[in-house]
Amino acid sequence: MAHLTLAGDSCFTAAEAQKLKDLINKVAPIKVSNLRGSWVYYAHIEGDSEAAQQKLAQLLPLEAALQRQTVPFRDILHDRMTETLSTDAPDLNTMFAESVSAPLEVVNIFENGRDPAQVLNEYNKARGLALDQSEVEYLVEKFTELGRPPHDIELFMFAQVNSEHCRHKQFNANWTIDGLAKGKTLFEMIRNTHKVTPDYTVSAYSDNAAVMEGEQTNLWAPDYSTGSWKLNKELLHVLAKVETHNHPTAIAPFPGAATGSGGEIRDEGAVGRAHFASSLDIMLEAPIGSARFNNEFGRPCLAGTFRTLLTADDTNVEGEFRGYHKPIMIAGGVGTVREKHALKRPEDVTEGAHVIVLGGPAMLIGLGGGAASSNASGEGNAELDFDSVQRGNPEMERRAQMVINTCVALGDQTPIAMIHDVGAGGLSNALPELVRDAGFGGRERCNFSDVGTVLSRERDGVSKLILSDKESNEYPRPIDVPMDVLFPKGRTLERIVSSKKPAWPVFDPVASLKSAIDGSLSDADLFKQAVQRVFWMPAVGSKSFLITIGDRTVGGLTTRDQMVGPWQTPVADVAVTATAFSLNGARTGEAMAMGEKPTLALISPAASARMAVAESLLNLGAADIKGGSHRGDLRRVKLSANWMAAVNHPGEGAALYEAVEAIGMHLCPQLGVSIPVGKDSTSMKSSWKDGETKKSVTAPVSVVISAFTLVEDIRRTWTPQLRRVEDVGETVLLYVDLAQGRKAMGGSALAQSLGAIGHEAPDVRDVDLLKDYFDALAQLHESGVVLAYHDRSDGGLITTIAEMMFAGRCGVDLMMDGIAASGNLSDMVDALFNEELGAVFQVRASDEVNFKRCFATCGPPAGLIRKFGVVQATSKQVLTIRYGEGAPFVSLDRAEMQQWWTKTSYEMQKLRDTPACAESEYATILDSEDPGLSFNLTFSPSENITPLTASITGFFGKMPRVAILREQGVNGYAEMAFAFRAAGFDAVDIHMTDIIAGRSLSDFVGLAACGGFSFGDVLGAGQGWAKSILLHDKARRELADFFNRKDTFALGVCNGCQMLSRLKELISGAEHFPTFVENASSQFEGRFGMVKVEDNPARPSVFFHGMDGSSLPIVVSHGEGRAEFASDESFRALAEAGGIPLRYVDNRLNVTEQYPYNPNGSPGGVAAVSSRDGRVLAMMPHPERNIPADVASYVPADEIEEWGEFGPWLRMFRSARRWVG
């Protein structure tokens, strides 16, 4: 037998170890300064046969094997940046040895007899600083003037601050293309959009995010002095930002994507193929890294794209390919900011102000990311690339955010003068010392360091950056350089490049189909094969495996996520959130949509950029866009443009310029939209050697457009879900062809699926027509005639119609007369698979005239609109495509098509998660009689069952108080507080540190433990939070006293449920509570599924008064929600006593253990458990996230009007208010 030992690196404290150390220090009588852990892997070869002995002999020389980079298990078994792999048993002395900081190194560029530039160049290459020759010469000149050689830390800082990643040299360069000097830089052309349309933009280009003009709305936050959550009316602006994290995601997909979502950006620039992750690893691991960070931090993920590409270059040079071996990992979002805090004011930072670094400890990872991501392909060092990938700690970032939120809540009294994130280039947050004095960091247990003060001038009159080291006598000032050395002025890159005309062969779809499949097949069968191939494409098919791993509802304000309709089909065009919580029915919001067409850039970079903008706008059009001077005015729409290119590859620099010019100087100014924020990554190429053959993969110029806007009415958001004849009567499908009959097939999903690119790209050919289209959309939103909407994009019109069918589970009869030139295969393929601009609308047959009237008054020609389909009865779930009066051209079964469309997602899910769960979900597609989600209520949501005194509290005393309890890592407190406030409670923010400090719960009638990831779930979900109570005498006594009072209730949701389940020794009547363990799918599950309130008239019901027998959808967001009972007897005892008030049911309302209806595999469908007297309820689903009626992934349009402003789950909180009296 042989063993391998996996031990924590002695100089690194992992995020998990940090959280565990926090927990131990909270409850232990001694303080832990260091924490390490080890995994021990044992390899055992069974049997005594000669073959087994030979295998064992091959395995034994592990030490030598571990030194060979080719051994696959080396990187599989450990994270090379945070762990060490050894054949020795764990050694405590080694594990806990104190690391010694490396001494400062003087880089003596003035060695006798050597050229200083040569010495610095050697150091530059060895350290991966990515300095160009002009920068090397500049530094030699400046340090010659300073009269001393540079220190290593000074060179490292200069390299990061002046890297392409941080200084955007390409976008600020002067360009000469084909011998012609261009008059503007790339950045100037982007800025031109703001120059032409500055309207409604508060801040552009000058900060970490763009700020758009917002509206007077509610700021929902706890009062700093009392802790009570309150709604305060004020002007809140909207901020938007989109980042990329391409370089680290290529090197290490999980941490790379995680820190990309964390906002610490480090783009492109990797070296060689050997240390790149495989494409499959990137597709499996990167989404998990991103989702897990978002989930733990508490940020909903509501939109995204998924695209793959690999094709031989059009030059036909051996080893040259186009594609994404260096992936694009993009993360962005919207938020709100108070008007008084929207702009940084440098004048507020006065001499003597303290510089505070807030957050987790500094570690020897993520080093040099700004420089590493700026390296040209094929240069540098693999070890340095791994060094540059950070590791995320979302729980710590959440703590830091809470400190910032508390400061912001103080308004004019905020101690923050200026703030900056720590990202590429080593920039630090600038917070004044008052943060510490106010105690905010202590309450949130957020680390901070007072690292210095702001000086106005040095004695010599030069502004400097000085770092002092009090422990060093030899080098008391490791950094002592003038600021103008770090930030040189007047240095502009000169780019002289040539353009390159594409040489892709003409794409003949039918000939390619016959060549790739079987030329003897009938036209109908060839067409079906084309549909199947296109639906398998990642850019076209279902993205479900990327969506359900993310929390889409945290915060309680999501009104439109990716999943649409009763069958939760991932086809939404736009993401929409409510602006704020409201008690008076406010319906304003924000919308975000994306557009990207990078494959088109291989044919026409300009068309690719224009189509990306247009796609984002057509997706955004599903929301009720708030106009400028009039409803269809697009000036309130703001775009983020993220540019990716390999600017040093032949022709790509000129291609990038062409793309930027197309939208910066022309399309966006003509539309009246601006681009106030963005990002660039200009080294999107990877290269390596395969034997003696040089190979490279170069990405096309890729611009990802994210469009943001305010929403007039969140209830008016359109979805692709076709409404059934049985529900709305006879309807028609109207096709609006914004391409006016053009059918370019270049860059289409069909072309790519057949190994082609094509020669003609779709394009935006009439800008005025596009503007008129949005005028018409505004009128249509206001008129209410549109039942369903979906734009034409990836996969073409066939995909548009199919996705609408999938969302509505119904059939469509499609008439192609006037759309296709004829009924032959070639013309039908061109009409249905081209990806030109257009959209499909469903309206009632009686509203067709009103629909056309809206367009007629706005200017688009009447010939754009064609009635080309009708929705069939539910029993006929078939797509029938016709041309003329004869037999159908083809008929396609909805279930079969949807399984094609879901196939890629299903296969990825099966590889990543528990295969049986993936198979179970895939099979549900075939159930054409599945009724979908439904609201089967035994009560009226509009009925307010709270006592009269709840609505006139001012006359009868104060509102009863509920402690909204949270621990570090908990993120679901805002929506929980609002749920109780809407039911008539005074919701008070209580942190566990308050209770430990002596805060009494004696004046509270309720306690709500919120969802999230307390202590990062480092010991198991809720375990750390529970231990922090059970092992702390003061906290244990306070909670035990609260539970023992007969006039109190407690609710634990998600992480709070997991915590309460481990406090059963303190809760009377909870002896049979289960614990909650990993989901049966082995994956986080974010879903909207059905539950049933059990009938139990004999058991006291604090929370479910009048709800018995109701079945309705509820939010599920957890990774460890499977109830695990101590024994079968314990489960039966709890069930027989009525202690399981809520169970998961399928769409036919039967209690189920089938995935995905039961998202975690809990026995008997257990979704919640309650104590014997009903006062303590622990539930895994989230009722608090669906309180406003509009805040739900699916709500029937007719029912929401009956409910009023609040949805049915408010009844649960009103029931508690009724019980209190």
> What confidence score (pLDDT) does residue 69 get?
42
Same domain, 737 and 815: yes
Q: At a CB cut-off of 8 Å and minimum separation 6, what does 753 contact?
A: 530, 533, 534, 536, 537
Task: Supply the CATH number for residue 827's domain.
Answer: 3.90.650.10
Same domain, 972 and 894: no
Taking the C-alpha atoms of residue 254 and residue 792, their distance in angstroms, rounded to an integer, is 33
Query: Residue 641: which of 587, 707, 572 has the closest Cα?
Result: 707
**Kind of pairing between the strands at 354-358 and 464-467:** unpaired
pLDDT tens digits for 693-724? Answer: 899 999 999 999 999 999 999 999 999 999 99
Same domain, 874 and 970: no
Length of the chain: 1221
pTM: 0.89
Same domain, 894 and 956: no
For residue 2, the cross-strand partners are 43
Task: Supply the CATH number for residue 77's domain.
Answer: 3.30.1280
Overall domain count for the chain: 3
Buried b (16+ CB within 10 A) or exposed e, 267-284: bbbbbbeebbbeeeebbb
For residue 492, the cross-strand partners are none
Sign of the dihedral through C-alpha 356, 359, 360, 366: negative
Q: At a CB cut-off of 8 Å and minimum separation 6, what does 584 contact?
A: 1205
Report yes or no: 1205 and 585 within 8 Å, Cβ to Cβ.
Answer: yes
Distance of CA 990 to the CA centre of its chain: 29
Task: Answer whether residue 389 is part of any domain.
Answer: no
Query: Domain end: 60, 95, 130, which one?
Result: 95
Task: Answer whether residue 70 is part of any domain.
Answer: yes
Same domain, 804 and 862: yes
Query: Residue 143: which of 489, 493, 480 has the closest Cα?
Result: 480
**Kind of pairing between the strands at 1166-1170 and 1142-1144:** antiparallel
CA angle 183, 187, 192 (to 5 degrees): 75
Taking the C-alpha atoms of residue 599 and residue 323, their distance in angstroms, rounded to an integer, is 9
For residue 211, the cross-strand partners are 203, 239
- Determine the structural domain holding residue 1092 and report its residue range: 948-1220
Taking the C-alpha atoms of residue 198 and residue 186, their distance in angstroms, rounded to an integer, is 19
> What confidence score (pLDDT) does residue 370 get?
44
Same domain, 1004 and 860: no
Taking the C-alpha atoms of residue 263 and residue 243, their distance in angstroms, rounded to an integer, is 7
Q: At a CB cut-off of 8 Å and minimum separation 6, what does 234 contact?
A: 216, 217, 219, 338, 339
Residues in the chain with pLDDT values less than 70: 1-15, 29, 37-90, 95, 98-99, 165-166, 207-208, 245-276, 344-350, 352, 354, 359-392, 420-462, 950-957
Report yes or no: 753 and 536 within 8 Å, Cβ to Cβ.
Answer: yes
> What confidence score (pLDDT) does residue 556 get?
96
> What confidence score (pLDDT) does residue 646 get?
95
CA dihedral 717, 718, 719, 721 (to 10 degrees): 130
φ, ψ (nearest 5 deg) of residue 1117: -150, 90
Same domain, 1031 and 1146: yes
**Both tokens of residue 83?**
């762990």
Query: Residue 235: which of 211, 213, 254, 250 has the closest Cα?
Result: 213
Task: Answer whether residue 134 is part of any domain.
Answer: no
Report yes or no: 214 and 237 within 8 Å, Cβ to Cβ.
Answer: yes
Count of CB atoms situated within 10 Å of the CB of 1197: 12
**Both tokens of residue 847?**
């509203």
Write out the DSSP string of 368-394.
THHHHTTSPTT-S-HHHHHHT-----H
Query: Domain end: 847, 869, 904, which one?
Result: 904
**Both tokens of residue 637?**
């729409």
Same domain, 1030 and 1152: yes
Active-site residue set: 1054, 1182, 1184
Task: Answer whether residue 1115 is part of any domain.
Answer: yes
For residue 560, the cross-strand partners are 576
Same domain, 891 and 982: no
Q: At a CB cut-off of 8 Å and minimum separation 6, what does 470 contact?
A: 476
Angstrom CA distances, 1064 to 826, 1053, 1068, 1172, stand at: 69, 15, 7, 12
CA angle 531, 533, 534 (to 5 degrees): 65
Same domain, 1024 and 1085: yes
**Kind of pairing between the strands at 1085-1093 and 1075-1077:** unpaired
Burial of 893 (0-12, 13-18, 19+ CB in 10 A): middle
End-to-end CA gap in the chain: 68
Query: Domain end: 95, 111, 141, which one?
Result: 95
Calculate Rg over the CA atoms of the chain: 31
Taking the C-alpha atoms of residue 1184 and residue 553, their distance in angstroms, rounded to an integer, is 10
Task: Answer whether residue 143 is part of any domain.
Answer: no
> What confidence score (pLDDT) does residue 293 get?
83
Same domain, 810 and 873: yes
Task: Supply the CATH number for residue 1059's domain.
Answer: 3.40.50.880
Taking the C-alpha atoms of residue 110 and residue 511, their distance in angstroms, rounded to an integer, is 68
Task: Answer whether residue 861 is part of any domain.
Answer: yes
Task: Answer whether residue 235 is part of any domain.
Answer: no
Same domain, 899 and 952: no
Task: Answer whether residue 307 is part of any domain.
Answer: no
Query: Residue 946: which of 927, 964, 959, 933 has the closest Cα?
Result: 959
Q: At a CB cut-off of 8 Å and minimum separation 6, what does 596 contact?
A: 305, 307, 612, 615, 702, 703, 704, 705
What region, left, alpha or beta, does residue 713 occupy, with left being phi > 0 and alpha being psi -120 to 50 degrees? beta
Residue with tokens 């309650």: 1170
Distance of CA 526 to the CA centre of its chain: 38
Report yes or no: 423 and 263 within 8 Å, Cβ to Cβ.
Answer: yes
Angstrom CA distances, 124 to 101, 154, 217, 365, stand at: 22, 12, 52, 19
Identity of residue 83? E
